[in-house]
Amino acid sequence: MVATIVWRMAYIEAVNLVKTYTPKGAPVVRALDGLSLSVPRGTVTALLGPNGAGKTTAVKVLTTLITADSGTATIDGLDVATQGSEIRPIIGVSGQYAAVDENLTGFENLDMVGRLYHLGAKASRRRATELIELFDLTEAQNRPVKGFSGGMRRRIDLAGALVIDPRVLFLDEPTTGLDPRSRLGMWDIITRLVATGTTVLLTTQYLEEADQLADDIAVIDNGKVIAQGTSDELKSSIGGQTVELSLVSEADSASALEILRSHGTSAPDVSADQRTLSVTVASGPAALQSVLAQTEARGIRLHDAGMKRPTLDDVFLTLTGHAATVEEEEKAS
């Protein structure tokens, strides 16, 4: 039991972080507005939110790049504001921009990072060689990074965060601006990485990415975590499942609506053409069976009938009142 307790103990703990900026000639921006977050050891937590929600600011505070105006944050019990020199040797960080030196080769970049983690000359070179192989960077090994694709730079940057075996890995929007193929490649790398038990905090504006990669999702909006839980927990938090019917004829609409209303936990939705109707229900399969039995009894003909669970999109919309969709062009580079 003790082991279990230790395992679940928060490894990264942020309490009430506040960080404000005052841009020239503009009102004060509260980038973090009382953000609290708890990341258990050995798990992957995604900080999910739209642009400007405070994700990067949160990562910067946790990785000792900036200090919060108020609130506290610890990694393995070490205070990020005052014990930075003890935290930096144990974390790996891959920022939003691939922070690689354009004029150095892939190998030289990784070797340099190893030397600055104080691995020693020999160990740094060996590790750089290993990472080049593991991340499929042979092409970039002996050529200056200048001229390589965004995906390749990101991989070198990520490899840089793994030059040591970090106890905590921070990934700030690891796939923003990547083409779909590079994104899948990056997911593949991250998935294999987290299988080894590294504690990961990643930020993303993509619901799918959080769903795919993270054990825990913290939804962040306007500098606050507004919900945290597993993907399933979040989905069920906004009400169970939905039963959806699609009718052959709109003439059956009224009676179908009546059936749905009697099963639903809220008022049913009806599409503009009156032929697609849906309602949220408390227990999905039982409700679906009962709905189907009654439609059959009344001779209502159906094209389709089914149950669907809420998507993270629905979760986001319900929690924040606005969609999580962001203009990708803005960030893509």
The residues that touch another protein, with contacts defined as CB under 8 A, are: 60, 63-66, 85-86, 88-91, 93, 95-104, 108, 112-119, 123, 126-127, 130-131, 133-136, 144, 157, 159-160, 162-166, 184-185, 188-189, 192-193, 195-196, 198
For residue 214, what is the DSSP state? -
- To another protein, the closest distance from the beta carbon of 327 in angstroms equals 19
Give the residue from 122, 184, 112, 118 showing the smallest Cα distance to 155: 184
Closer of 103 and 230 to another protein (Cβ): 103
Of residues 192 and 309, the one with the C-beta less far from another protein: 192
Report the residue number, 62 or 247, with the smaller CB distance to another protein.
Answer: 62
Q: First vs last Cα of the chain: how many Å apart?
A: 48
Q: Copy the structure tokens of residue 268.
A: 């049913």
CB 261 within 8 A of CB 92: no
Q: 103 or 265, CB closer to another protein?
A: 103
In the chain, where do the E strands start and end? 10-21, 29-40, 44-48, 70-75, 78-79, 91-94, 168-172, 199-204, 216-221, 224-229, 241-247, 269-270, 276-281, 302-308
The CB-of-28 to another protein minimum distance in angstroms stands at 16
104 near 95, Cβ under 8 Å? Answer: no
Least distance (Å) between residue 287 CB and another protein: 43
Give me the least distance between CB of 85 and another protein, in Å please.
5
Residue pair 245/276 in contact (Cβ under 8 Å)? The answer is yes
- Residue closer to another protein, measured from CB, 4 or 85: 85
To another protein, the closest distance from the beta carbon of 247 in angstroms equals: 45
